[in-house]
Structure 1
Amino acid sequence: MFKEKCWEFEQEWRFKILAFPDGFSLPDDEITKETLDLETYPTIDKFIDVNLEPGIFNEAEFILGPKASEAQHILLTSLIEKYAPEARIFYSNLQIR
């Protein structure tokens, strides 16, 4: 996925993994097209097995943007507590005009 050069200091990895039940098809609407942008970033239409070290997600750092809601923070916190208790959450310093 593309990221502007000015943001390279963040040293982040970006993944897009879509998982759906067998036989599921995405809605053909503008929201889906804009959100997933599958024309620019196409997906591989098969499964991918990725071997990860146990506990690797404990090293994760999540940055919540300035438009993140309290509900999103609560959801992320709950997921971290369950799956990666050592992961950290930060808030972006970006200001929205």
Structure 2
Amino acid sequence: MFTALNAANAYSNARSAIAPDRDAAPGVVQKIGSAAEEFSRQMQQVDISATEAMTGTGDTHQLVQTIAEAQLAMETVVAVRNKVVEAYQEILRMPV
């Protein structure tokens, strides 16, 4: 039989699972942030190389190389996103 006290205790115990403490895993949060910053820098480099190639001041070989690197980075980000969505969907399917 559930009482208000039991429900409050259960909520208190489950609270860390709902909103995990950022101090518990600072390395993971920092790695995710640095990966996002690196992805952003990669996309900015593509823009710079494309602009230089269009204006005639850049090397087309550099443009092709930058686009290939950006494509690999984008495929990696999409694969990670797909895994996160898949994990979230698995969590939603769990019986309560």
TM category (shorter chain) comes to under 0.3
TM-score (norm: length of structure 2): 0.21
Structure in which a larger fraction of residues adopt strand: 1
TM-score (norm: length of structure 1): 0.20
Structure in which a larger fraction of residues adopt helix: 2
